[in-house]
């Protein structure tokens, strides 16, 4: 997995690419934590490059949401592929996260 992070004036965007499973979820966790420490107004996790995610990846994002809420960072997920959306739906987290189609929509969601 590779994780690229970009910062715009309004948001920090995290772009992981590759399957997110138990073997790499800690890398995502570390990247998210590092971004959150800056206390940005808005963090966008763009999942367009993630064909697969298991519960270890989901746990990382739930953790991110908990940090975000505490420090009033707005956390938005975007670019979800069907298989990844399916795990959020089964775990009933699709209504808990703010999930939008693409990075454009995520900038204002």
Residues that bind other proteins (CB under 8 A): 19, 21-23, 52, 54-56, 58-60, 62-63, 65-66, 82-83, 86-87, 90-93, 96
Closer to other proteins by CB, 93 or 107: give it: 93
Q: How far is the CB of 32 from other proteins (least distance, A)?
A: 12
User: Between 54 and 107, whose beta carbon lies closer to other proteins?
Assistant: 54
d(CA 52, CA 2): 14
- The burial of 95, by beta-carbon neighbours within 10 Å (0-12 exposed, 13-18 middle, 19 or more buried), is given as exposed
Beta carbon of residue 53, minimum distance to other proteins (angstroms, whole number)? 9
Least Å from the CB of residue 96 to other proteins = 5
The token duo for 8 is 């715009």
Phi, psi angle pair for 95, to nearest 5°: -95, -10
Q: Which is closer to other proteins, CB of 52 or CB of 101?
A: 52
User: CB of residue 83 vs other proteins: minimum separation in angstroms?
Assistant: 5
Provide DSSP, 33-56.
Answer: HHHHHT--SEEEEE-TB-S-B-HH
């Amino acid at each position: 997995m590779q994780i690229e992070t970009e910062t715009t004036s309004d948001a920090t965007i995290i772009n992981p690419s590759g399957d997110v499973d138990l073997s790499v979820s800690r890398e995502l966790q570390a990247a998210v934590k590092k971004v959150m420490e800056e206390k940005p107004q808005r963090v966008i996790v763009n999942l367009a490059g993630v064909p697969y995610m298991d519960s270890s990846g989901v746990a990382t994002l739930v953790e991110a949401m908990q940090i975000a809420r505490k420090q009033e960072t707005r956390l938005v997920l975007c670019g979800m592929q069907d298989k990844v959306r399916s795990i959020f739906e089964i775990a009933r987290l699709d209504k808990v996260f703010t999930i939008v189609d693409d990075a454009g929509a995520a900038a204002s969601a």
